[in-house]
A and B are shown apart, each in its own frame.
Chain A
């Protein structure tokens, strides 16, 4: 009954579709990345250029800066999101305030589901230099208004703030799911040994939190490589290139500078990073699956 032919028929649609919309465009991008390719300047021709696009990307200080900024952004957001998320998870794992806890659990879904582009729109509204709420809070302290999105030092913070609003619930819900998985017997045994909350956390709960935490950290790193919607809407990468993370920079080169050859080379380099991250993720989390 379970013939190989039947199996292949079941698999064929998925394999064919993903070859068509996944692999074929990638091969095309690889091809473009090795040529002169500027569709606004067809006069230059579309010839091979001996890895010139890759040399250009690897020696482009803006590219390295955008990559560095991506990691700076991760450094700004991940610790905050993790600590806030852990705090929320521990609160939601308590046994008191049942009604408030269930309201909070439902509320946490809102940021996660909100369209990232719309999060950017709300960010523009809240951080507006004339009438934004952020500036209202600033003037309450007696200081003059600030142009959050026009100041190179503050714009990245504003973007990080909205990112933190959207993704802290992800940390919270994952860590809460992990806390729920801690066996009750282990908690009981530990409470016989110690009545310090910290010991219970450090020696009993923490080991259960680690896998979920690792999952979220890898996914959030991959997300930072992809992060586009929020920034494009809030700042277009500006002012200057103060919020230009690597995806936004690639999009600018490909679709606003229109040098597709160079943009394709960047895309291929990003793809390598993506493959490494996804391999890592799957290695860690699906060892037992097969």
Chain B
């Protein structure tokens, strides 16, 4: 079927004879969109309601929005500091993962040797690790070394899931660059390091950016390590959000305002890489 006759069919059909399938598909798509967006919408709406409106039953659908919960959460409960901590941890861990991971990706893309597959497997398998497996020994080690409640401890442990993402995605990009380019550069007197840095890396910037955004999202969203390894000083935003959840009279407005501030930047980032999200989440098994 060519593109032309599908479009003619799609436009001709509903006029000639209302197509039940076509109409049902439209309704289903609307339901999908509403169901997907609704919990997010409800969080944002609740963050803008007064306390009385949040607790109203039956729920209130129209209300005069207020920013009081954002002000309270950011400055009185100091979520601002937690957001900064989250930003520092996510950016630093992403940056380090790129710095450390891209040369390894280059080696895996350009050299062949026995045992390469095993090394590669070991690097990638860190992505499968259950956080609780590492959280426990990391907590005990950090306690012994006196580096609990330190953002750099989190940066270090986040490398266990960020390096595999970088290595996998960037290696795939490097393989797509013809080897002759690096060889030509070396013939012209460049070292392999220069070939990597000046020839191959600049050609794969889009792929590197995708891997960086994915690392950022995973680091920003992480809860368990942060919960276990931080206290007041280096608390990240997800931990701050969950720390509201104790006692009876929960400050719902502040909780939802914090949730909104955590989620908005990740959603924007995820939309930027939405075409690559599936590849990133399946480590490339699905293109």
Contacts from A to B (Cβ < 8 Å): 1-2, 4, 6-7, 9-11, 13-15, 17-18, 20-22, 25-26, 28-29, 32, 39, 87-88, 91, 94-97, 100-101, 103-122, 124-126, 130-131, 133, 135-136, 139, 162, 165, 169-170, 173-174, 177-178, 181, 184, 187-188, 191, 211-212, 215-216, 219, 222, 225-226, 228-229, 232-233, 247, 250-251, 254-255, 260, 263-264, 267-268, 270-271, 274-275, 277-279, 281-282, 284-286, 289-290
Known: A115-B266, A126-B39. Contact between A282 and B124, CB under 8 A?
yes
Closest residue on chain B to residue A176 by CB atoms: B278
Beta-carbon contact of B111 and A7 below 8 Å? yes
Beta-carbon contact of A13 and B100 below 8 Å? yes
Among A118, A174, A290, the residue within 8 A (CB) of B263 is: A118
Known: A26-B133, A114-B266. Contact between A17 and B100, CB under 8 A?
yes
19 A/B residue pairs, CB under 8 Å, sorted by A: A9-B103, A10-B106, A11-B107, A32-B140, A39-B140, A107-B37, A115-B220, A115-B266, A122-B259, A124-B245, A125-B42, A187-B1, A222-B128, A228-B223, A232-B227, A233-B223, A255-B228, A281-B128, A290-B120
Among A107, A126, A228, the residue within 8 A (CB) of B36 is: A107
Q: Which of B71-79, B159-167, B201-209 contacts A (4 or more CB under 8 A)?
A: B159-167
**Contact residues in B for A17 (Cβ distance below 8 Å):** 100, 159, 163
**Contact residues in B for A88 (Cβ distance below 8 Å):** 32
Closest residue on chain B to residue A214 by CB atoms: B285
Beta-carbon contact of A165 and B39 below 8 Å? yes
Beta-carbon contact of A174 and B278 below 8 Å? yes
Beta-carbon contact of B136 and A263 below 8 Å? yes
Beta-carbon contact of B136 and A18 below 8 Å? no
Report B120-146 CB contacts with A as 1/0, cut-off 8 Å. 111111111111111111111101000
Closest residue on chain B to residue A131 by CB atoms: B57
Among A177, A212, A277, the residue within 8 A (CB) of B128 is: A277
Closest residue on chain B to residue A94 by CB atoms: B25
Closest residue on chain B to residue A254 by CB atoms: B136
9 residue pairs, one from A and one from B, having the closest CB atoms: A113-B270, A14-B104, A278-B128, A10-B107, A25-B137, A29-B137, A285-B285, A215-B285, A10-B103
**Contact residues in A for B137 (Cβ distance below 8 Å):** 25-26, 28-29, 32, 264, 267
Return B223 CB to nearest CB of chain A, in Å. Answer: 4
A-B contact count (CB 8 A): 312
Interface residue ranges of B66-98 to A (CB < 8 Å): none
**Contact residues in A for B263 (Cβ distance below 8 Å):** 113-115, 118
Beta-carbon contact of B36 and A114 below 8 Å? no
Closest residue on chain A to residue B14 by CB atoms: A96
**Contact residues in B for A114 (Cβ distance below 8 Å):** 40, 263, 266-267
Q: Chain B: interface secondary structure?
A: helix
Complex formed: what's the CA distance from A126 to B59 in Å? 11
Beta-carbon contact of A104 and B104 below 8 Å? no
Q: Classify chain B's interface size.
A: 35 or more
Beta-carbon contact of B140 and A28 below 8 Å? yes
Beta-carbon contact of A250 and B132 below 8 Å? yes
Known: A260-B136, A282-B124. Contact between A21 and B286, CB under 8 A?
no
Question: Is B241 an interface residue when CB atoms closer than 8 A count as contact?
Answer: yes
Beta-carbon contact of B125 and A278 below 8 Å? yes
Beta-carbon contact of B57 and A118 below 8 Å? no
Beta-carbon contact of B287 and A181 below 8 Å? yes
Closest residue on chain B to residue A170 by CB atoms: B281
**Contact residues in B for A216 (Cβ distance below 8 Å):** 282
**Contact residues in A for B163 (Cβ distance below 8 Å):** 14, 17-18
**Contact residues in A for B121 (Cβ distance below 8 Å):** 279, 282
Beta-carbon contact of A130 and B55 below 8 Å? yes
Beta-carbon contact of A11 and B128 below 8 Å? no
Beta-carbon contact of B138 and A104 below 8 Å? no
Complex formed: what's the CA distance from A100 to B138 in Å? 47
**Contact residues in B for A229 (Cβ distance below 8 Å):** 223-224, 238
Known: A181-B287, A264-B136. Contact between A121 and B242, CB under 8 A?
yes
Question: Is B217 an interface residue when CB atoms closer than 8 A count as contact?
Answer: yes
Among B57, B119, B132, B252, the residue within 8 A (CB) of A125 is: B252
**Contact residues in B for A285 (Cβ distance below 8 Å):** 284-285
**Contact residues in A for B141 (Cβ distance below 8 Å):** 25, 28
Return A156 CB to nearest CB of chain B, in Å. Answer: 19
Closest residue on chain A to residue B43 by CB atoms: A122
Given A107-B36, A133-B59, A279-B125, 9 extra CB contacts under 8 A = A21-B159, A91-B28, A106-B274, A112-B281, A117-B241, A117-B242, A121-B241, A131-B56, A285-B285
Report B210-236 CB contacts with A as 1/0, cut-off 8 Å. 000000010011011001100000000
Among B36, B59, B100, B228, the residue within 8 A (CB) of A110 is: B36
**Contact residues in A for B133 (Cβ distance below 8 Å):** 26, 29, 267-268, 270-271, 274
Complex formed: what's the CA distance from A216 to B252 in Å? 35
Question: Is B65 an interface residue when CB atoms closer than 8 A count as contact?
Answer: no
Return A188 CB to nearest CB of chain B, in Å. Answer: 6
Return B63 CB to nearest CB of chain A, in Å. Answer: 14
Complex formed: what's the CA distance from A251 to B228 in Å? 9
Closest residue on chain A to residue B101 by CB atoms: A14
Question: Is B186 an interface residue when CB atoms closer than 8 A count as contact?
Answer: yes
Closest residue on chain B to residue A222 by CB atoms: B128
**Contact residues in B for A225 (Cβ distance below 8 Å):** 130
